[in-house]
Amino acid sequence: MLYLNQTLDELEELRLAHTLSYIKYGEVQDFPAKEGSRRAGGVPAERPQVRVRPIWFQLPRIPTGPGRICWLKGRGDRHYAPTLASDILIPDNFLFSAPPDSMSVPESFAAVANLSWTNLMAEVYGRRGGGDGVLHTYIRELSQIPLVDPTLFTRTQAEDLVALFSSVASRPALSTDEELRQPDRQALDSWAMKYMFGDNAEAAGRTVERALRDLVMERTRRTVSGREQQQKAVRRTGFDPAPLAARVLMDCGVHPKLDDFLPEYLGPLMEVQVPAHTDAPAKLGDSLIDQSHVLVGGEALITHLDEGHAAAVVAVLTASPKFTGVMQVPLDESAAREIVNQWSRRWRQWKQETEQAIKEVLPKATQAQRRVMVARELEERVGLLPRTLLVE
């Protein structure tokens, strides 16, 4: 594509002979339309949509600086607004926006456009049409979306938001359900929720995630395409635990980890190296031979710790069975015991609430197997070992 901002005189001053020759070619060469084609034929410079321009080969200037984003006119099960590098142009089957000139960090505009809050508003104000499951977001719909105003950010706020967004922007966009489970996405949205809702950020974030997931799921399942009809037939004869597992996870949150309780401890820390190991349950040894040993799958993994610090390692491996590497625990053994006790109480509470939530969505005795399927799905989503939760 040739994109020009200069006039003929300016091009001649620049001595761009090949460009001038190409323009002249467009003024005289006839391109007859093929029979049955919807495209207009004729000489390009004389076509109606071109003749109305002050300079026939020149398009209006458009912003080409940093921070621009591209809005998709049709959305499936993925929400994203691609960022445009400087001087990159896009065809007219996309829409684009440039950040306001007053912004000190223009890239924060792209971060705002990719928040889950913005995606939820696109679901609310977008247009569903044709039963094909596609969400249409054209100019009319986009103009109604209540965006977070990036011009109100301080420079520090804008830089913090851009730093969080950079991780999300550097990887492929995922389906909404999968995207909402990514740590970098959760960190980005958490910042936005705190900015918008303050002390109510956690509850607001959960509401936004649940609403976005449900709206996308409801919309994409209404498609009338042949492939979707086949998928619906499969759903009628089978059971998919993923939606219920996602809902339970939204209601109960992710499981607690030992690191959640460390910030409250102000004393010195020690490092413990956790070597590679099999994916198996971790526990403390309880015999005279292996007392205070960390056992994984019945095999000794760490043998040199006292009981309080060994219990901390077991807690970490219970919540994150694949963890290897260096972990930190309080140097004082009694402090390590207290943090493990705090984690244990919260762990038992989370398990009880999660298992109760599964039973509430599938309460019948005949649904026992489905409850187990939801539990296994939830375990996989949060990285727990199978059979950590409900066993019937």
pLDDT in tens, 78-123: 999 998 888 777 776 678 888 988 888 999 999 999 999 999 999 9
Residue range 331-335: mean pLDDT, rounded: 93
Task: Name the CA dihedral angle for 234, 239, 240, 241, rounded to a multiple of 10 degrees.
Answer: 180
pLDDT of residue 355: 94
Look at residue 279 and tell me whether its pLDDT is greater than 70.
yes
Residue 141 in contact with residue 230, Cβ under 8 Å?
Answer: no
140 to each of 112, 122, 211, 366, how far by Cα in Å? 19, 11, 22, 49
Look at residue 234 and tell me whether its pLDDT is greater than 80.
no
pLDDT band at 224 (very low <50, low <70, confident <90, very high): very low
DSSP 35: T
Q: Nearest-CA neighbor of 295 among 271, 278, 308, 270?
A: 278
pLDDT of residue 293: 93
List, for residues 264-276, the tens digit of each pLDDT value.
Answer: 788 899 999 999 9
pLDDT of residue 49: 75
DSSP 44: G
pTM of the model: 0.51
Look at residue 256 and tell me whether its pLDDT is greater than 60.
yes
List, for residues 127-183, the tens digit of each pLDDT value.
Answer: 876 556 788 888 888 889 999 999 999 999 999 999 999 999 999 999 998 999 999
List, for residues 356-378, the tens digit of each pLDDT value.
Answer: 999 999 999 989 999 999 999 99
CA distance 251 to 253: 6
Look at residue 2 and tell me whether its pLDDT is greater than 80.
no
